[in-house]
Amino acid sequence: MPRLVGINHVALEVESIDDALEFYGGIFDLELRGRSPNMAFIDIGDQFIALAEGRTQPPDRRRHFGLVVDDKEATRQALADAGAQIQSGRGLDFIDPWGNHVQVVDYRDVQFSKAPEVLRGMDLDDLAKSEKAVAELREKGLTGPAG
């Protein structure tokens, strides 16, 4: 059987591409990969997010997707400064103006890993994993003994 290798991209439905780029650009350092009349593509190193104009679904409640950031607390502050609807709880979840539920995690604390050359290309080569994340990766055989 084929094995899942990763996620190529996630597409978010928004009412306006321009408004979404302004909202997300006020929170994150964005690099636009490309744009068409009804879509915008935002680079995340070797991955991307697509913004699709035209919300067709009601706001998300349980359905969500997760973003990995280099600084979760700086993201929390940027979300607060942008007036984002931050959800209560121990994590960092927010609802964007179009009803997309986004969960934010810190790169240091999760198993998700970027190849060293990708981190270097993103100018994040000093971003290290926490001991817990390294132990989880090691337990799955996804890293060497030194991490």
Residue 4 located in a structural domain: no
Does position 145 have pLDDT exceeding 90, yes or no?
no
Confidence band, pLDDT 50/70/90 cuts, at residue 144: low
Residue 120 located in a structural domain: no
- Mean pLDDT for 62-71 is 93
pLDDT per position as a tens digit, 96-129 = 999 999 999 999 999 888 888 999 999 998 999 9
Spatial separation of the C-alpha atoms in residues 137 and 110, rounded to whole Å:
9
Residue 1 located in a structural domain: no
Given strand 9-14, what is the order of strands in its sheet?
Answer: 9-14, 47-53, 39-44, 32-36
Spatial separation of the C-alpha atoms in residues 2 and 142, rounded to whole Å:
19
Residue 103 located in a structural domain: yes
By three-state DSSP, how is residue 133 classified?
helix
Residue 117 located in a structural domain: no
Spatial separation of the C-alpha atoms in residues 119 and 108, rounded to whole Å:
13
Average pLDDT score, the chain: 91
Q: How many domains does the chain have?
A: 1
Residue 66 located in a structural domain: yes
Confidence band, pLDDT 50/70/90 cuts, at residue 61: confident
The enclosing domain of 39 has a CATH number of 3.10.180.10
**pTM of the full predicted structure?**
0.89
Residue 125 located in a structural domain: no
Domain span at residue 86?
9-110
Residue 100 located in a structural domain: yes
Does position 147 have pLDDT exceeding 70, yes or no?
no
What proportions of the chain, in percent to the nearest 5, are helix, strand and coil? 25, 30, 45
**Which residue, 51, 28, 23, is CA-closest to 38?**
51
